[in-house]
Structure 1
Amino acid sequence: MSPRTQKSDFTPLTYTTSDRLVTDFTSRGIVILSPEDLGIPAEVHKRVYNFEKKAKKEKKRVTTGIIPDVLEVLNAPGLVSACDQLAGKNWAIVPFTHNAVFTSGPRDQHWHKDDNGPYNSRKQRHHQAVQLEMLYYPQDVTAEMGPTATIPYSQYWTFNHEENHDNFAGADHLDFAYFFDMQSEHVSGPQSKYDIEDIVNQRTAHDIRMRDAVTNTQWPLVLPFEAGPLRAGSVIIYSHNTFHRGNHRRDDWRTWEDNPRFMWRFWLYRTTDPSPNGSTTVVPMNDLGIDPITRVNLSGAPDDATEVWRYHHHWIKTGQAPPPRPESKSASQKEKEREAKALFEQLHAKYDEAEPVRIGAAYKLASIGDPALATKFLGRALHTDRENVRRAATYGLIAVGPDATDTLIEATRSPIKWIRKAGIYGLGDASHLTKDVLDAVTSCLHNDSSVYVRSVAAGTLGCLGRRAVATGKGTDLIPTCIDALLQSLSREENRPSMDKAQKRSIKFVRPTDDCDVCEGSGVDFGLDRFEPVRSAVRENALWSIVILCSHGTKILGNALEPTIETLKDIIQTDKNVIDVGFAMDALIRLVKLSPDEVPQINRKNLLNILKELPVHSWETFIRGGLSLDTVSKFNKP
């Protein structure tokens, strides 16, 4: 098929409508914005594509710095509005991490959830809409050009990473063996062994294995879904927990050089919680009908899935759990106790195919209409020796909300680090910022022997502060949160990245005596200013500081001045480029939100600090509040 024929037959995928944005995201896990939704001229996408083609031919490293029109896309009013609804206002972009161009070609990737920390590092996976990914396509994407392959409805289900070291690095894998068996093979192109008809009709051994990997999970509703065709300027936003993969091209390989498929990817995270005063309308997630994009009949979704969707739809709107399930409201106490016991048994269902059953049981317990009863059973499950049961129980306790706080605090004192980790993480997503909660989290941050637990504690402080601002409960403790994070930064050290230290691919690194969590790949951009070093605790502490600085100077109280001095020192001396990116973002946000209250850093000083940096994460800094005009002064195409 010639490119001209493809163009004439081009029919784009159905795009997400504004009225379904939150419903589709919390159920399907993926939404797709049309070029018109963005609210910027089509010429912007043409310029991005043409400049990108030129840079590729000249073998330049492609960044937003040399193609500033991409920054205009990130500021597009329609895109910002959609992300505001899903991730809260003033959302941030993770710095220096995969926020760059990807091309499709002859190979497939295996199915995976992206590392949920920068460059292959491991963070806790939030079911709540805290971490999102955004894909931007500056050109048309035909069905033959290797559209991004996804697994809708998969974002709430995953696998053990605590004992299964195939998942030790940040990514979670589906059919990881494909990486060894087939990923290096060319499915298409001049080196392919397959007949063109088998390639075009998706009958190769690769296509079959990819489909089987999905259906073999036996999870409800899941099927492979290629996100295309798309028109130039389309944007996909999906939960950071959605399984996906890179896809091979199926068109004439002789056209690839002149007709590349580019994709930009950005990692977003929440800095503000939903308002408790948001819409409290409960959407009947068990009656959504035919999905307009995947064409899956959602009326057949099991209640183990729809109860999870119901919670997250309500949470995105209000930051709170929905009312108890209707059937629980009318149940007697004996009936509730009987159901709770049955759900507790369901929580212990075995094997990976029962993942939705376990998670569903946890959410149904949370919405049984009796928080004390739910917490009793979920708390027992939290202390089991099975990772998949503990994980489900953790999400269930989070869904219970503040009533689960005492149970989660108790977990932080467990002799078992995995239970301490679960307790600390759960407090961040469920609890109000109180002295007891803060003491439990800071105790683990300062004293826990596990790097993993300390890193989760560092991230939890940002989540607690974010919720305190939204609810007005605990804001007086935010300066203490900041102080704890600054103390942590003064103690924690960067280490040589695990891939460099262990001299192996990041996919195969393993825990060591020094560190029990994957801290990620080393990246220094070939600059003497940086070294390939990482620290999960430092990076999570700075992630939290960005969140807290996103609310201006007043909430920092007497911690403002030491915060500014610490951020400046990190920007000027830290050898970890990820640390520097977070610190710069936090500083930009403070100056942007409260320019008259940060006398140590005025606009001129901020520009001088930027000039001293040999590399810039402009997409991060633009979201932090830097102007496009400022960026243009640094980058001349």
Structure 2
Amino acid sequence: MEANTPLLLTDEQMRKFITDGFLILTTDFSEDFHHKLMESLNHVYEEEGNPGNNLLPRVPELQRVFEHPVITGALTSVLGPNYMLHAHRHGHFNAVSNPGGWHKDSYWGYERMRNHHPWWAMIMYFPQDTPVELGPTGIMPGTQNYESRVFNADEMETEALASGNAGTFALIHYDIWHRSTPNLLGQPRYMLKFEFMRTTAPEAPSWNNDEAAWRKPQTVNSPFADHEVMWEETWNWLSGKNGNITDIKSNNEASVKELTMELQDQFEPIALNAAYELARRGKHEDLFDAIQSENVKESRLAAYGLSVSSKEVIPGLIENLESRRVETVIHTIFALGEQREQAKEAVSALNKLLKHPSEKVRRAVVEALGMIQQPTDDVVEGLCHCLKDEDVQVRFMAGLSLSRLGASAEKAVPQLEIALNDENRYVRAHAAEALRYINTEQAKDVLIKFLFNSRWCPTTTKVNTFYP
């Protein structure tokens, strides 16, 4: 294997990622490399403060980190070979003894319906030796698919800590519950957080795959529930298989009536299993009843069931787009997006919703269009309209959706060029990413001009304005 060849994950590691939502891995950089990296971080933080999204150009040693075979292999395995390094990144500095609160990260300041399929991941990198006493990130295993915090103080013993030598990192499902733990030593502790997005749906396993069939890993660290149907469906999705949830085996002996009651259970793991089991059994009418429920949690969970159901549900989902309940419409749009190209007949109706008065509906549409992708001209037209939306979040999601279309989105280049001058940093960044993934001559010309005009000198600071 060549030095820079990605070191792909094994089947067992992928099984652990699916069930637990994270992996703790380690690079093999030298002690001297991390010593220099820490010197650069300390200098930047002491002289300038947190560089935020400019972390890479201000600390260029970090580029080597994200070229390391263990990191590229882990990201390729989970997100596919064309994954995107997102423009948002942050260096977390912790020297206090108080623990942070449990949370899921937002998507650059706004909430959205979260994907169970791993479309997003984060890496949390520790550039110094990080024993437990220095306050590593704490992760609650298996909580990546729960919107609510389902654990309490009695279950804290299951918390996993990203503790280890310099070069240790946590690869996490973007939506997992996590926190900072107390730094009892009072010494500087950095955690460098970078976000990554899958740009294409999986067509085949992108890890070192030997076994085609799903089986649980040797240990499952989540204490809350077995989600065998959901886990197997995720494994199949990552393997490039779509729409075969009815072939999944299940030990659930509950009646349909019991499952519909469990879908309303206040304990989310139980309700989540009910949604997937109803989908597995093809009980679509029960899921359609639930998605129209005034109980927002029940409606959302039904959307997950419909999102993995057979394409037979698509006509009913299209009808649901006319619902007067905004939550039902949003959840329906999510399910259509996860159906991807099978839902192409919904694009016309989705484009009409881009005039909907609710920005939350329009935000859901812009993501769904980027996942459905066909018919291309209609999708691109809709996304170009999104780049002009009054809501900034619709605009910056449009760039990410266009990135997923690649060269077929070339007609969007003129509107993307305008978006490069948007007042919002993420609209500009996502427009640039879209141009990079479109990758035609026209797109590259616009992108190169933008990059030269916005060139930033990483060594120019308030104390070093001219020389050397």
Normalised to the residue count of structure 1, the TM-score between the two structures is 0.65
Does residue 357 of structure 1 match 2:270?
yes
Distance 2:416 2:280 in 1: 42
Of 427, 438, 449, which residue of structure 1 is paired with 2:347? 438
Q: 1:391 to 1:325 in 2, by over 3 A?
A: same
- Secondary structure at the aligned position of 2:135 is classed as coil
How far apart are residue 322 of structure 1 and its match?
4.4
Corresponding residue of 2:441: 598
Query: Which residues of 2 match residues 393-412 of structure 1 at below 5 A?
Result: 393-412=302-321
Deviations along 1:92-120, one digit per CA (max 9) or x if unpaired, are 1332x3x02111221322111110x21x2
With 311-320 and 147-156 compared, the bigger mean Cα shift is at 311-320
Task: Answer whether contact 1:215 1:223 (CA < 8 A) is retained.
Answer: no
Letter in 1 for 2:403: V
Corresponding residue of 1:612: 453
Corresponding residue of 1:310: 232
Distance 1:601 1:55 in 2: 32
Q: 1:224 to 1:113 in 2, by over 3 A?
A: farther
Corresponding residue of 1:568: 417
Deviations along 1:54-92, one digit per CA (max 9) or x if unpaired, are 222323443211111212211223211211111122111
Corresponding residue of 1:448: 356
Letter in 2 for 1:339: S
Corresponding residue of 1:459: 367
Distance 1:361 1:130 in 2: 23
Does residue 93 of structure 1 match 2:24?
no
How far apart are residue 611 of structure 1 and its match?
2.6
Of 427, 432, 455, which residue of structure 2 is paired with 1:584? 432
- Secondary structure at the aligned position of 2:103 is classed as strand
Q: 1:319 to 1:124 in 2, by over 3 A?
A: farther
Distance 2:250 2:272 in 1: 19
Corresponding residue of 2:201: 273
- Secondary structure at the aligned position of 2:437 is classed as helix
Instruction: Indicate the structure (1 or 2) with the bigger Cα radius of gyration.
Output: 1
Task: Answer whether contact 2:204 2:238 (CA < 8 A) is retained.
Answer: no
Distance 2:43 2:33 in 1: 16
How far apart are residue 413 of structure 1 and its match?
1.1
Task: Answer whether contact 2:341 2:371 (CA < 8 A) is retained.
Answer: no
How far apart are residue 344 of structure 1 and its match?
1.3
Letter in 2 for 1:110: G
Task: Answer whether contact 2:23 2:172 (CA < 8 A) is retained.
Answer: yes
Of 538, 545, 554, which residue of structure 1 is paired with 2:402? 545
Deviations along 1:540-570, one digit per CA (max 9) or x if unpaired, are 1122112222xxx2x33xxx2x421112221
Of 26, 30, 34, which residue of structure 2 is paired with 1:45? 34
With 358-367 and 226-235 compared, the bigger mean Cα shift is at 226-235
Distance 1:385 1:377 in 2: 15
Distance 1:71 1:277 in 2: 27
Corresponding residue of 1:227: 161
Letter in 2 for 1:365: L
How far apart are residue 46 of structure 1 and its match?
3.2
Corresponding residue of 1:112: 103
Q: 1:94 to 1:319 in 2, by over 3 A?
A: farther
Runs of 5+ in structure 2 lacking a partner? 1-7, 459-466
Distance 1:44 1:607 in 2: 32
- Secondary structure at the aligned position of 2:58 is classed as coil
Corresponding residue of 2:382: 484
Normalised to the residue count of structure 2, the TM-score between the two structures is 0.87
Q: 1:482 to 1:109 in 2, by over 3 A?
A: same
Q: 1:600 to 1:266 in 2, by over 3 A?
A: closer
Taking CA–CA contacts closer than 8 Å with sequence separation of 6 or more, which of the two structures ends up with the larger relative contact order? 1
How far apart are residue 599 of structure 1 and its match?
4.2
Distance 1:393 1:600 in 2: 40
Query: Which residues of 2 match residues 136-535 of structure 1 at below 5 A?
Result: 136-159=125-148, 174=149, 214-215=151-152, 223-251=157-185, 253=186, 256=187, 260-275=188-203, 281-285=212-216, 288-291=217-220, 296=221, 302-303=225-226, 305-320=227-242, 321-322=244-245, 324-326=247-249, 339-349=255-265, 351=266, 354-368=267-281, 371=282, 374-445=283-354, 447-465=355-373, 474=374, 477-490=375-388, 492-494=389-391, 535=392
Q: 1:401 to 1:236 in 2, by over 3 A?
A: farther
How far apart are residue 615 of structure 1 and its match?
5.8
Q: 1:113 to 1:600 in 2, by over 3 A?
A: closer
Task: Answer whether contact 1:64 1:100 (CA < 8 A) is retained.
Answer: no
Task: Answer whether contact 1:402 1:432 (CA < 8 A) is retained.
Answer: no
How far apart are residue 41 of structure 1 and its match?
5.5
How far apart are residue 589 of structure 1 and its match?
2.6
Task: Answer whether contact 1:133 1:268 (CA < 8 A) is retained.
Answer: yes
Coordinate RMSD, CA, aligned? 2.8
Distance 1:460 1:396 in 2: 17
Task: Answer whether contact 1:564 1:587 (CA < 8 A) is retained.
Answer: yes
Task: Name the % identity.
Answer: 21
- Secondary structure at the aligned position of 1:128 is classed as coil
Distance 2:323 2:429 in 1: 35
Corresponding residue of 2:464: none
Of 30, 33, 53, which residue of structure 1 is paired with 2:25? 33
Q: 1:615 to 1:112 in 2, by over 3 A?
A: farther
Deviations along 1:21-69, one digit per CA (max 9) or x if unpaired, are 2111110011112114xxx656443332221122223234432111112
How far apart are residue 386 of structure 1 and its match?
0.5
Distance 2:365 2:418 in 1: 23
Distance 2:196 2:181 in 1: 23
- Secondary structure at the aligned position of 2:414 is classed as helix
Q: 1:42 to 1:84 in 2, by over 3 A?
A: farther
Deviations along 1:151-174, one digit per CA (max 9) or x if unpaired, are 111111123xxxxxxxxxxxxxx5
Task: Answer whether contact 1:141 1:231 (CA < 8 A) is retained.
Answer: yes
How far apart are residue 576 of structure 1 and its match?
1.0
How far apart are residue 383 of structure 1 and its match?
1.0
Deviations along 1:413-457, one digit per CA (max 9) or x if unpaired, are 101111011111110012425552111221212x21211001110
Corresponding residue of 1:6: none
Distance 1:77 1:146 in 2: 27
Q: 1:585 to 1:434 in 2, by over 3 A?
A: same
Distance 1:33 1:432 in 2: 35
Letter in 2 for 1:441: L
Distance 1:88 1:133 in 2: 14
Distance 2:160 2:225 in 1: 24
- Secondary structure at the aligned position of 1:400 is classed as coil
Task: Answer whether contact 1:30 1:152 (CA < 8 A) is retained.
Answer: yes
Runs of 5+ in structure 1 lacking a partner? 1-15, 160-173, 175-212, 466-473, 495-534, 592-596, 619-635
Q: 1:544 to 1:49 in 2, by over 3 A?
A: same
Q: 1:438 to 1:241 in 2, by over 3 A?
A: same
Distance 1:463 1:435 in 2: 10
Of 59, 65, 79, which residue of structure 2 is paired with 1:73? 65
Distance 2:263 2:417 in 1: 48
Task: Answer whether contact 1:274 1:317 (CA < 8 A) is retained.
Answer: yes
Distance 1:348 1:243 in 2: 22
How far apart are residue 310 of structure 1 and its match?
2.0
Distance 1:228 1:459 in 2: 32
Distance 1:568 1:228 in 2: 41
Query: Which residues of 2 match residues 12-27 of structure 1 at below 5 A?
Result: 18-27=10-19
Task: Answer whether contact 1:104 1:247 (CA < 8 A) is retained.
Answer: no
Deviations along 1:142-196, one digit per CA (max 9) or x if unpaired, are 111001011111111123xxxxxxxxxxxxxx5xxxxxxxxxxxxxxxxxxxxxx
